[in-house]
Structure 1
């Protein structure tokens, strides 16, 4: 009679994952670097002429309009309340038409005060108006 062989595994097979992680990181870096150079391959290299009418990439002017708890309106960095902001807004828009106005209203400000500021900005011709808020705090 033939002898029986014992084919029991002594240990469980292991999957070594660290080399696979190394390869994945290498591939990620490779594709990130290669796509940077692909962007320039889609255009022909030329020397562009200079033009006076060309727009430069400038940051737009941001003007803050602050409404405090008492309903007083402060234009930009003024320390005294501004009586009517419409004239100041018109002057600012005449100089820089793409000005962005940010309304910063106190948490306890009356809603009607914020609405009157919005109406004043709209009447003065402001097109870019946003409301400021704190993130994450309640």
Structure 2
């Protein structure tokens, strides 16, 4: 007994249209949810007026070490022993930045010695100047 079916066998298909609908729905959902995260409600407040709008930024102290080991602070040539006292005179606060400009051919021991003297002077912000690679 052979029973024949009148049904046509269909191959399973991937329904792409409903997937596109779901993707667009998710995109819209995340778009609106991120817009809500940016907006922050706050209470209205009358802020006080400051007598000085900008905070004073201390002028940095530039220390230069040349190839021959000469140390200069600003335009004044100093010895290694004078660095601490000279930096203490020029720095108003410990937040005054010091920029160390050393030639690439200077011995690193000389640079470390100058950094130690700057640290003894109480300076907490020390930057080493470099050039960008070309």
TM-score range, shorter-chain basis? 0.5 to 0.7
Q: 1:124 aligns with which of 121, 124, 127?
A: 121
Cross-structure match for 1:37: 39
Q: 1:74 aligns with which of 69, 72, 83?
A: 72
**Are positions 1:113 and 2:125 aligned together?**
no
Cα root mean square deviation, aligned? 3.9
Query: What are structure 2's unaligned runs of at least 5 residues?
Result: none
Higher Cα Rg, which structure: 2
**Are positions 1:8 and 2:11 aligned together?**
yes
- The structure-2 alpha-carbon separation of the partners of 1:2 and 1:23, relative to structure 1 and needing over 3 Å to count, comes to closer
Alignment length (residue pairs): 126
Q: Secondary structure at the match of 1:34?
A: helix
Contact 1:63 1:100 (8 Å CA) reproduced: yes
Q: Secondary structure at the match of 2:39?
A: helix
Contact 1:61 1:98 (8 Å CA) reproduced: no
TM-score (norm 2): 0.60
Q: Matched residues in 1 for 2:33 and 2:66: separation?
A: 53
Q: Secondary structure at the match of 1:3?
A: coil
Query: What are structure 1's unaligned runs of at least 5 residues?
Result: none
- The structure-2 alpha-carbon separation of the partners of 1:113 and 1:35, relative to structure 1 and needing over 3 Å to count, comes to same
Matches within 5 A, 1:19-30: 20=23, 24=27, 27-28=30-31
Q: Matched residues in 1 for 2:99 and 2:9: separation?
A: 80
TM-score (norm 1): 0.59
Cross-structure match for 2:46: 47
